[in-house]
Structure 1
Amino acid sequence: MKSIYSKILLLAFVASSVYSYAWGLTGHRVIAEIAENHLSGKAKREMKKMLGQERMAYWANWPDFIKSDTTGAWKQASAWHYVNIDPQTDFTAFEKDLKAQAGANLYSQIKVLSSQIKDVKTSEKDRKIALIFLIHMMGDLAQPMHTGRSGDLGGNKINVTYFGDKTNLHSVWDGKLVDSQKYSYTEYAKLLDIKSKDEVKQIQSGTLENWLYDSHQIANKIYAQTPDGSKLSYDYQYKFNDTMERQLLYGGLRLAKLLNDLF
């Protein structure tokens, strides 16, 4: 077991120097850190049994790192990071479309992973992997472009420039907005995690479907204000920084709610 995880970690560190993923390294760690600050006592104890002394932030990017695996062992997991849905008139229409999606996706897999973690028949190794994926994918849920449209692959086909550099809309939201603030993940988590107990309870209310719809509505606003060929710089940061920070905070608090309910 030690050998397996040593190889995984080596792969992770190699991959981190090559790839940029959802929320980037910082964003996923911010969400994991906020979530860990809001775990119940029982959830903390159960998580410690599964993850050992390592904090959630340590594992938060592993499901992106394994995209570098060349054996094909994790190929099926690529579709777990997003669910593409065209704009819907209201929540009812959105939920209907969401549940009609074919194949594994962000929505269906969060439910599968949650069931695996709760199932006493799941092996210790598989339960840990399911937990690590769940930590990451609840972060993906909060990144609006992971609930974007299929026609442009969640903004990947919308070409923009960011401070003069050629990129795409998805990449801007994956990491560039977060990283432009120049905070470490612990600094950012501390700065954002300042809501009252009542506010936290309100943010954590609702269902998984409600949370996905929340991100989807924000994605629609982003699309409307970022057409193909947009030249983005300080004005774009000013316009969307509050939204980006909201999503980091909401992602962390909702991840904590899901984990507390599971344990």
Structure 2
Amino acid sequence: MRKIFQNSVLLLALLSFNFGYSWGTTGHRVIAEIAENHLSGKAKRQLKKIISDQKLAYWANWPDQIKSDTTGVWKPTERWHYVNVPPQTNIKEFSESLKAQQGPNIYTQIKVLSDQIKDKNTSAQDREIALRFLIHLIGDSAQPLHIGRLEDLGGNRIKLNYFGSPTNLHTLWDSKMVDFEKYSYTEYARVLDVKSKEEVKTIQLGTLEDWLFDSHRAANRIYANSKADVNYSYDYNYKFQPLVERQLLYGGLRLAKVLNDVL
């Protein structure tokens, strides 16, 4: 077992839900591409040492792809992609609920991975793996239903139709609404990444808890306006596409902030 799993394997065995993939291939690459546009010179130099000339988008979906591995080596990491928090309306109660969660989750692992990347004693291999996960998990943290509710597994149990095709609420937000726009990931990053330097700095303010609460509030809004066994189409897109795009942009800008800090 790799070093980055050693402190979490026993706890992970207590509970493991399969949340499927997150943001889909396009969404994660959009976030990674936006982040790459906002890296500092120092961060770029450090990244070159870790992943050579490869772009962040290349690794953005790797932590989802390894869910297909049949050896079981990566199985413990499945719970790293999300955290279940009961509906909260203020940051204090949310933070208390977040910190009370048992076992590794997206909150704990973003911190662990960040520390591992900063630690000069981390091996080159473990540092690269930690980076791959961090790119992905910051993206996941911006997908509202990854900060969702236990009873429906972040919307996975809420069955509905989208333009007549059966799906569930989680998948709708992971990929279907992103893919509906028919942009490549570079096109989507380009049309979203238009904020001023002052606006970017404002979006990057706050702690990890603040960012997760931001996504949690978005999840509460989604839950309040999404019902099971309904066919959604253009009306749902009209209502929520701005939120989808906000989360993609915020995920990218905040990923850049984290990478600039840890590198």
What TM-score results when the alignment is normalised by the length of structure 1?
0.92
The 1-side partners of 2:210 and 2:89 are apart by 14
**Structure-1 residue corresponding to 2:143:** 143
- Unaligned runs of 5+ residues in structure 1 are 1-19
> 1:73 is paired with a residue of what secondary structure?
coil
The residue aligned with 1:73 is: 73
Match of 2:237, SS?
helix
Partner of 2:221: 221
2: CA distance, partners of 1:198 / 1:40: 16
Aligned match of 1:5? none
Paired amino acid for 2:245 = E
Aligned residue runs from structure 1 range 44-193, under 5 A = 44-193=44-193
Instruction: Report whether the alignment pairs 1:257 with 2:260.
Output: no
Q: 1:210 corresponds to which letter in structure 2?
A: D
1:52 positional shift: 0.9
Query: Is residue 202 of structure 1 aligned with residue 202 of structure 2?
Result: yes
Aligned counterparts, 1:4-83, within 5 A: 21-83=21-83
Deviations 1:195-224 (A, max 9, x none): 000000000000000000000000000000
- How far residue 238 of structure 1 moved from its aligned partner, in angstroms, is 0.7
Give the percent of matched residue pairs that are identical in Structure 1 and Structure 2. 66
Q: Distance in 2 between matches of 1:148 and 1:230?
A: 20
Offset at residue 257 of structure 1 (A): 0.4
Q: Deviations over 1:205-257 (max 9, x none)?
A: 00000000000000000000002112110110111000000000000000000
Residue 195 of structure 1 aligns to a residue whose secondary structure is coil
Whole-Å Cα distance in 2 between the matches of residues 210 and 220 of structure 1?
15
Unaligned ranges ≥5, structure 2: 1-19
Report how many aligned residue pairs link the two structures.
245
C-alpha distance in 2, partners of 1:62/1:189? Answer: 19
Asked if structure 1 preserves the Cα contact closer than 8 Å seen for 2:89 and 2:217, the reply is no
What is the letter of the counterpart of residue 187 of structure 1? E
Deviations 1:127-155 (A, max 9, x none): 00000000000000000000000000000
Segments ≥4 residues shifted beyond 3 Å: none
Cα RMSD (Å) of the superposition? 1.0
1:72-118 deviation line (CA, Å, top 9, x unaligned): 00010000000011101311000001011100000000000001101
